[in-house]
């Protein structure tokens, strides 16, 4: 894989660590901790010091049942953090985690480099924006919206259907001018999926990698880990590390995590094992 994101050329199989900064009052695991721009900036700098390869800034929680945040409010949360990081000389690639083209546009204008869209570039105008800016983008699989997605878990074969739906979303984006080389695909762990379906996807990542684009996987602290390991959200780091290991062994190039330093250890061990495999 070769993908230029901002000033950095990402080459090879990774793993590359995307560090999460939620500038929200209500994210499922860290809501309210980094809503203040200064706290978000400090968090971002800490994640970079821990070895994050890129940052993912989000101004809207997408946890199951989350209400939609008005566009202006989301811009007010995210843009000052992008601006402050750039003003402080942070050159690392910055991703904006949003479903809204106006938020993505404002963040790109402020110095962000990548659009991370849990809605798969489905909002009117989003694909056009990504095409116009030739922005790298994460195209994630979901059905419905965060508010109602857990009512859309009726799959016959979750792996086959996620592959088909991601492939269709990629084709739609490409038909509207997005260069396929700029796209990263994401199975959307926990988005319109039960815990069992999420585990099935994580166990079958090579089927998604066959779509020919790098994969990003975001297992961090999610409820499927709670279901599998029987632990509350604040105790899911060990379960997260198991999932990061599985993701890298399954071919994930990017992993999206809150706890960068420990995830980096797990990812490096998993990558060494992946690369030591015999044909
Ligand atoms: N998961 C979350 C948010 N954004 N983006 C991608 N590409 N993949 C993911 O798996 C993903 C994502 C949910 O995690 P978090 O941001 O911590 O929670 P919240 O949505 O409550 O802010």
pLDDT in tens, 245-254: 999 999 999 9
| Nearest atom (ligand 1) to Cα of 219 | 10
Q: What is the pLDDT of residues 222-276, one digit of tens each?
A: 999 999 999 999 999 999 999 999 999 999 999 999 999 999 999 999 999 999 9
In a domain, 167, yes or no: yes
> What pLDDT does 160 receive?
98
Query: Residue 71 has which token pair?
Result: 């566009």
Strand partners, 17: 255
Pick the catalytic residue: 43, 143, 256, 264?
256
Q: What are phi and psi of 232, to 5 degrees?
A: -75, 170
Q: Which are the contacts of 137, defined by CB distance < 8 A and separation ≥ 6?
A: 114, 115, 116, 117, 121, 130, 173, 178, 182, 183, 184
| Any domain includes 231 | no
pLDDT for residue 55: 98
88 is catalytic: no
Q: Is residue 253 part of a domain?
A: no
Instruction: Select from 204, 186, 182 the least CA-distant residue to 137.
Output: 182
Instruction: Please indicate whether residue 223, judged by its CB atom, sits closer than 6 Å to ligand 1.
Output: no
| Ligand 1 proximity of 140 Cβ (cutoff 6 Å) | yes
Is residue 223 domain-resident?
Answer: no
Is any atom of ligand 1 closer than 6 Å to the C-beta of 186? Answer: yes
How crowded is residue 258: how many other Cβ atoms within 10 Å of its Cβ? 21
Q: Whole domain around residue 50: which residue ranges?
A: 2-216
Please tell me the distance between residue 97's alpha carbon and the centre of ligand 1 in angstroms. Answer: 8
Which residues of the chain fall short of a pLDDT of 50? none
CA atoms within 13 A on the CB side of 262: 13
In a domain, 165, yes or no: yes
Q: Examine residue 35 and state whether it is found in any structural domain, yes or no.
A: yes
CA distance 231 to 236: 6
Give domain status of residue 251, yes or no: no
Question: What's residue 227's pLDDT?
Answer: 98
What is the total count of domains within the chain?
Answer: 1
The domain spanning residue 152 has which CATH number?
3.20.20.20
> From the CB of 256, is ligand 1 less than 6 Å away?
yes
Give residue 134 CA to ligand 1 midpoint distance, Å.
23
Residue 225, in any domain of the structure: no
At residue 168, the pLDDT reads 98
C-alpha 176 to ligand 1 mean position (Å): 26
For residue 203, how far is the Cα from the chain centroid? 18
The pLDDT of residue 159: 98
Q: How far apart, in whole angstroms, are the C-alpha atoms of residue 201 and residue 110? A: 35
Is 256 one of the catalytic residues?
yes
Crossing angle of helices 260-275 and 237-249, rounded to 10°: 30
């Amino acid at each position: 894989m070769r993908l230029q994101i901002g000033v950095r050329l990402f080459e090879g199989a990774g793993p590359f660590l995307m560090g999460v900064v939620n500038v929200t009052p209500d994210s499922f695991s860290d809501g309210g901790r980094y809503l203040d721009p200064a706290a978000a900036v400090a968090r971002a700098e800490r994640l970079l010091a821990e070895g994050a390869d890129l940052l993912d800034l989000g101004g809207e929680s997408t946890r199951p049942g989350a209400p939609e945040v008005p566009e202006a409010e989301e811009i007010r949360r995210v843009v000052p953090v992008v601006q402050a990081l750039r003003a402080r000389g942070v050159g690392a690639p910055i991703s904006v985690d949003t479903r809204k083209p106006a938020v993505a546009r404002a963040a790109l204008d402020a110095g962000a480099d990548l659009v991370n869209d849990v809605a798969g570039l489905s909002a009117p105008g989003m694909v056009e924006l990504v095409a116009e800016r030739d922005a790298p983008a994460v195209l994630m699989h979901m059905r419905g919206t965060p508010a109602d997605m857990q009512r859309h878990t009726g799959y016959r074969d979750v792996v086959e259907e996620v592959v088909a739906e991601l492939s269709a979303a990629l084709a739609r984006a490409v038909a509207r001018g997005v260069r396929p080389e700029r796209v990263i695909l994401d199975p959307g762990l926990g988005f319109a999926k039960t815990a069992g379906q999420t585990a099935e996807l994580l166990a079958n990542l090579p089927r998604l990698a066959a779509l020919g684009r790098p994969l990003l996987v975001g297992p961090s602290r999610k409820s499927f880990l709670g279901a599998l390991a029987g632990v509350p959200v604040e105790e899911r780091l060990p379960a997260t590390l198991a999932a990061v290991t599985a993701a890298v062994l399954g071919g994930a190039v990017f992993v999206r995590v809150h706890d960068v330093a420990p995830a980096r250890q797990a990812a490096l061990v998993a990558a060494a094992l992946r690369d030591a495999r015999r044909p």
